[in-house]
Every structure is written in structure tokens, then in C-alpha cells.
Amino acid sequence: MELLRDTNFDFMKYRKFWIVVSLLLVGVGVFMIFVHGKLNIGVDFAGGTRVTLQFKDKPDLDRLRSVLTSVGFGDSEIQRYGKVDENEVMIRTRLVKGKSDGTRDAVVGALDKEFTAGQVAGRPDLNRIGADSVAGLLFAADPDQRKTQGEEAAAAHYKEVAKSLLAKRREIGLFAAWADVSGIAGVSQQVASTLEKSCALGVYTVTGVENVGPQIGKELRNQGFWAVILSLFGMLVYIWVRFELRFGVGAIMACIHDVLVTLGLFALFGYEFNLTTIAAFLTLIGYSVNDTVVIFDRIRENMRKNRRKPLIDTMNESINQTLSRTLLTGGSTLLALACLFYFGSDVIRGFSFVMLVGILVGTYSSIYVASPFALLWEQYIGAKAKERRAAADQAQPVRR
């Protein structure tokens, strides 16, 4: 199947219009980031704590909020997370001034007090304790009566039992009822009933914690910032070396355009901006320049073939020639990324959003931002330089 052979669209004809459109998009993007909605800055950069919990039953967000308010975290962000039937909740608390430790202990402590009130005190929580605690507990009680075979054999046996138990817990998140425990392979009825007698089943479990103190937050902000700036600079230098300055400028303009527009949409959809997002943006910059380079490469080749042709026509010709390639590659990468966006886990969704949008915008900008800007540069700065030289020559004729 052949696509678009011998096209001859005059891309550059409406370039002024498209530059305006681009500027508008950038403007909207910047507006989104700084004025409306604002960027949802993650714990990585803002500091603070982000705790994800999995509840046995549907969590009552209001109850959670009142618990948190009682320990001074009333302004935390609490929201449902992930699949509905998995009952996960995400709690985000801000940095507390003066404390470098983060708020995780306070949050978990308050939740513990609230949700374990009804339980029989003193029992370990089977949804929290680790493998060796379980093994130790079982070894002491010896429900399978292995101690007759020797202490070492018994210890080894209960270690295995504990392993199976925890593997199951890892799989389903937390034990919702004692029935979940007795059904596990390798766990005998006696073990299950011993556990039921001596342990409790917590109502929730902590599935993830991100706790970033102010120092680290500052350091990560710096790192992220410099990574992006140096990257852009690196690209500029690279293209300047391989092509010419005017093309370098065009490519960087396209990059900046892509980043700002994507960032704006990112803010609009409320994705969390963290380190992984910066990684996505850097990749985006790489890809955008990649795309632009392919077109510039063709322009350069055509310029060599036909030195007299005006730049604008060469650009048109080159873009037409590379059009099918641009669309096809963009297409395949988009397919792969769309799968990542749709099927991938929540954690990576923000990342794939950036890449997805970025590629669409990047392809557009390689045509309608990079080349026109290079053209503009040429016309105003490159051409002006030529004019000045021509004027100087006229004023002072070359002596022979």
C-alpha cells in the first residue's frame, strides 16, 4: 500500500497563518499552566507525602477526611485511585514546615487509630506483618505439630507456609476475610485457625508511599530543570554543527513549542507532574528534533542539488518528499504509545500522555514551526546580513 507519492502541497504558503495558530496554542498552553488549573506538581518536586492505601471495602472518603483533619491535615488531597473494585485511595499531604521527615507516620498513625478501634487489641495485623513475623508466630504455636520432627524442620516448614501466605497476600493486595486465608495451597486448616485466633485482619493496607523532604525536593527540582535546559542547548549545538544556525534555531523553536503546548494539555487534564514526566518531556524533545532533522536533511540534500532555488521552494519540495515517511513513522510510534496509554498502568499514564500528544504536536511542528522559523531567520537576519554586505559593496566599490 503506497501512501502519498508525488504530492505537491504548498505547505509554506499558509505558513504565516499556521505560525499564528502555533503561537495561539502556545499561549493557551502557558495560560493553562500558570493561570487556569495549574500544573499538578507531584511530591517529587513539591515535597510532601503521598500514600496509597487499599481498603477491604469501599472507603468512605468523608470519614477519611475527618480523621485527617483531626491531626491537622484537613487540607490533604484524598481521592479514589485505580480500578473501582480495588478500593484504592490516594492521600496527598503537603510539606509540614520545619519537619524534614515527612508526614507519613502521622497519617498512618491517625488512620490506624480510627480503623482498628473495633478490633481485639494486641493482635498483630495479618495484612501488615512480614514473612518472618508470621513464621515466628506459627513456630511458637506449632499448629501442624512439626516440632516432633525437630526444631529446624519445624522452622523451615513454617517459613514455607509464611511464604505461601504472603505470596497470596501480594497477589490480592490484602485479605478481606478469613476465608481468603484458609483457601491457600500449602496452608493447612490448623494453621488457618491458629492465625484466626491470634491475628486480626486489618481493614486497609498501605500499598505505596512517596515521602520527599524539602531538601530532596529542591534537589530534584534543580536536576529536572537543568536536565531540560541542557538538553535543549545540546540539541541546538548539535543541529548547528550538523546543519546551520538558522536550522538550529528553527528546530529549537519547534521543540519549545512542542513542550509548551504539550505541557498545557497535560495541565488541562490534570496529570501529575513528577520526575517521570520530565523523562517523558526529554524524550519528546529528542523525538521532535529527530523528526525535524529528517526534514532538514532532505532540505540540505535538495539545496545541494539545486543551489539557485529559493529556500522556500526547497522547503516545500523536501517536506512533500518526506511526507509519507513522517506520517508513517509517526503512525507506528503512535500505535505503540496508544497501547501503552490504554493498557498500561496508572503510574505510567501521565508519561504516555506526554509522549502521545508530543508526537502529534511534534510532527505538526516539524512542518509548520521549524521550517517557517528557519525561513524567517533567513529572511530577517540572514538576508539582512546579505543586504548590508551588498550595500557596503555599493558604497565602496572593490578596487582592482
Residue 57 CB coordination number (10 Å): 9
Is 256 an interacting residue with respect to other proteins (CB under 8 A)? no
Q: Which of 19, 155, 184, 206 binds other proteins (CB under 8 A)?
A: 206
Does 100 bind other proteins (CB under 8 A)? Our answer is yes
Cα 16 vs. chain centroid, distance in angstroms? 34
32 versus 260: smaller Cβ distance to other proteins: 260
Asked if residue 347 lies in contact with residue 81, where contact means CB atoms within 8 angstroms, the answer is: no
The footprint of other proteins on residues 305-324 (CB under 8 A) is 321-322, 324
Q: How far is the CB of 370 from other proteins (least distance, A)?
A: 13
Instruction: Output the furthest CA–CA distance in the chain (Å, rounded).
Output: 115
Per CB under 8 A, 205 contacts other proteins: yes
**Sign of the torsion angle spanned by Cα atoms 79, 81, 84, 87:** negative
- Locate all alpha helices (DSSP H) within 306-365, ordered by sequence: 311-343, 349-365
Candidates 254, 267, 151, 144; CA nearest to 194 is: 144
* Binding region for other proteins (CB under 8 A) out of 57-65, 307-315, 334-342, 375-383: 334-342
* Cell representation of residue 98: 520545619
14 binds other proteins (CB under 8 A): no
For other proteins, the binding residue among 61, 339, 383, 390 (CB under 8 A) is 339
For residue 333, state whether it binds other proteins (rule: CB under 8 A). yes
Identify the residue whose cell numbers are 530534584: 220
Q: Which stretch binds other proteins (CB under 8 A): 59-67, 96-104, 262-270, 303-311?
A: 96-104
Nearer to other proteins, 62 or 152 (CB): 152
Binding string, residues 142-171; x marks residues near other proteins by CB under 8 A: ------------------------x--xxx
CA dist., res. 191 & res. 141, Å (int): 9
In sequence order, the 6+-apart residues with CB closer than 8 A to the CB of 87 are: 54, 55, 56, 57, 58, 59
Our finding on whether 176 is near other proteins (CB under 8 A) is no
User: Which lies closer to other proteins via its Cβ, residue 182 or residue 333?
Assistant: 333
Site pattern 355..374 for other proteins (x: CB under 8 A): x-------------------
Is 1 a binder of other proteins (CB under 8 A)?
Answer: yes
Q: Which residue has the cell 543541529?
A: 239
Taking the complex as a whole, how short is the minimal distance between the CB of residue 111 and other proteins, in angstroms?
Answer: 12
Cα–Cα distance for residue pair 111/95, rounded to 1 Å: 19
Q: Pairing relation of β-strands 40-41 and 48-55?
A: unpaired
**What does the angle CA 169 – CA 111 – CA 106 come to, to the nearest 5 degrees?**
110
Which residues within the stretch 223-252 sit at the binding site for other proteins (CB under 8 A)? 223-224, 226-227, 230-231, 234-235, 238, 242
Q: How far is the CB of 24 from other proteins (least distance, A)?
A: 27
Quote the least distance from Cβ 234 to other proteins, whole Å. Answer: 5
